[in-house]
Structure 1
Amino acid sequence: MNNPYHQSLTLIGMPGAGKSTIGLLLAKHLAKDFVDTDLLIQLEHRKTLQDILHEQGYLALREHEEKILLNIHHSNHIIATGGSAVYSAKAMQHLKKFGPVIFLDVTIQELEQRLHNFSTRGIASAAGQTFAEIYAERRPLYLRYADIVIDCSGKNQEQLVDEVICQEAEDFAAAQDA
Structure 2
Amino acid sequence: MTLTLIGLPSSGKSTLGVLLAKALGLKFIDCDLVIQEKTGKLLHEIIAEKGVENFLALEEEINCEIFSENAIISTGGSAVYSQRAMKHFKSLGKVLYIKIDYDTLKERLGDYSHRGIAQRQGETLLDMYNERVPLYEKWADVTQDSLDTMSETVTSLIRTISEQI
TM class by shorter chain equals over 0.9
Distance in 2 of aligned mates of 1:151 and 1:116: 20
Is residue 125 from structure 1 mapped to residue 119 from structure 2 by the alignment?
Answer: yes
User: Could you tell me how far apart the structure 2 residues matched to 1:44 and 1:117 are?
Assistant: 26
| CA distances 1:38-67 after superposition (whole Å, capped 9, x unpaired) | 011111111111000100000111111111
- CA shift at 1:163, angstroms? 1.3
Larger radius of gyration between Structure 1 and Structure 2: 1
Per the alignment, residue 148 of structure 1 pairs with 142
1:120 Cα deviation from its structure 2 partner: 1.6
Q: Secondary structure at the match of 1:119?
A: coil
Q: Residue 112 of structure 1 aligns to which amino acid in structure 2?
A: K
Q: Secondary structure at the match of 1:120?
A: coil
Alpha-carbon RMSD: 0.9
| Code of the aligned partner of 2:158 | I
- CA distance in 1 between partners of 2:111 and 2:16 (Å): 20
Count of matched residue positions in the alignment of Structure 1 and Structure 2: 165
1:117, distance to aligned residue in structure 2 (A): 2.9
**Is 1:162 matched up with 2:160?**
no
Q: CA deviation at 1:164?
A: 1.2
Following the alignment from structure 1 to structure 2, what is the Cα–Cα distance between the partners of residues 66 and 121? Answer: 19
The correspondence for 1:63, drawn from 57, 60, 78, is 57
Q: Aligned match of 2:15 in 4, 15, 21?
A: 21
The Cα of 1:128 is off from its aligned counterpart by: 2.0
Residue of 52, 65, 85 corresponding to 2:79: 85
Secondary structure, aligned partner of 1:74: coil
State the shift of 1:145 in Å.
Answer: 0.1
TM-score by structure 2 length?
A: 0.97
- Which contiguous aligned blocks of 4+ residues in structure 1 show a shift greater than 6 angstroms? none
Taking only the aligned residue pairs, the percentage that are identical comes to 42
Indicate whether 1:137 and 2:137 are aligned: no
Question: C-alpha distance in 1, partners of 2:97/2:51?
Answer: 26
Q: Deviations over 1:111-165 (max 9, x none)?
A: 111112322211112112111110000000000000000012x421011111111
Displacement of 1:21: 0.5
| Structure 2: gaps spanning 5 or more residues | none
Distance in structure 1 (CA, Å) of the matches to 2:92 and 2:155: 21
